[in-house]
Amino acid sequence: MENHKAEKSYSSYYLIPAVICGVLTGWLVTGSVGYTILGAILGLLTAGFWMNVVVNRGEEA
């Protein structure tokens, strides 16, 4: 039997707001589909950076 608590990580909840904010930023600034897709990709990259660097360092401390 294992007596350890399974820690839940809520870091994946950063992905949806990051995509939404990236899409809205690309659409509001330029209004074109290309920059909207680019904004979504950059939003995902930012969320990935946030999850891997910032959140993981906070859990280690």
pLDDT over threshold 80, residue 42: yes
CA distance 41 to 18: 9
CA distance 8 to 14: 14
pLDDT over threshold 60, residue 61: no
- Token pair of 13 as six digits: 């909840």
pLDDT over threshold 60, residue 52: yes
Question: In this predicted structure, what is the pLDDT of residue 41?
Answer: 92
pLDDT over threshold 70, residue 11: no
Can you tell me the mean pLDDT for 22-35? 89
DSSP state of 10: -
SS3 content of the chain, % helix, strand, coil (to 5): 75, 0, 25
Domain extents in the chain: 7-59
Q: Assess contact for 14 and 45: CB atoms under 8 A.
A: no
> Taking the complete model, does pTM exceed 0.85, yes or no?
no
Question: In this predicted structure, what is the pLDDT of residue 5?
Answer: 60
